[in-house]
């Protein structure tokens, strides 16, 4: 599924849930005031570009069980949990994305800490993710 210039807001669960190998692409869209902005699991793929994920009661984005996401030119801020939460061999790539000001204390949360991320240092936020030769701000 591909979405452009849409608003997903006020959902008691996810604004968008992508499951079981499905694909979801969003451009210039807003995910506002949902319980979770976007969630991908079971080897699904998300591409979120030029969008905003904000005001979620929980995490802005959740990636579980081998999900992969790229966030290009996207702002993820002001969520009640993490900006992006990854676990279970999920992948997140950040291209000109801003992931800051989320309320959990971590903007990008890798669980376990040694999950797969690229360019997380470019987000400007606080993370516990570890990637080779990274300039990310580590949690102390």
Quote the CA–CA distance of 40 and 28 in Å, as a whole number.
19
- Is residue 31 within 8 Å of 49, Cβ to Cβ? no
**Could you report the per-residue pLDDT of 7-45, keeping only the tens digit for each?**
999 999 999 999 999 999 999 999 999 999 999 999 999
Q: Can you give the pLDDT at residue 83?
A: 98
Q: Please tell me the total count of domains within the chain.
A: 1
| Domain with 67 in it | 2-6+15-138
- Is residue 90 within 8 Å of 110, Cβ to Cβ? no
Q: Can you give the pLDDT at residue 139?
A: 59
Q: Can you give the pLDDT at residue 140?
A: 59
Confidence at 1, pLDDT banded by 50, 70, 90: very high
């Amino acid at each position: 599924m591909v979405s452009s210039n849409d608003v997903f807001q006020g959902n008691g669960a996810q604004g968008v849930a992508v499951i079981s190998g499905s694909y979801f692409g969003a451009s210039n869209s807003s995910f506002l005031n949902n319980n979770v902005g976007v969630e991908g699991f079971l080897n699904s793929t998300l591409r979120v570009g030029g969008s905003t994920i904000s005001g979620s009661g929980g995490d802005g984005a959740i990636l579980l069980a081998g999900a992969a996401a790229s966030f290009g030119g996207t702002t993820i801020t002001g969520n009640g949990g993490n900006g992006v939460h990854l676990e279970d061999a999920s992948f997140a790539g950040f291209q000109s994305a801003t992931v800051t000001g989320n309320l959990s204390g971590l903007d990008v949360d890798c669980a376990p800490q040694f999950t797969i991320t690229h360019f997380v240092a470019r987000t400007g936020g606080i993370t516990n993710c570890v990637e080779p030769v990274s300039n990310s701000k580590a949690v102390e």
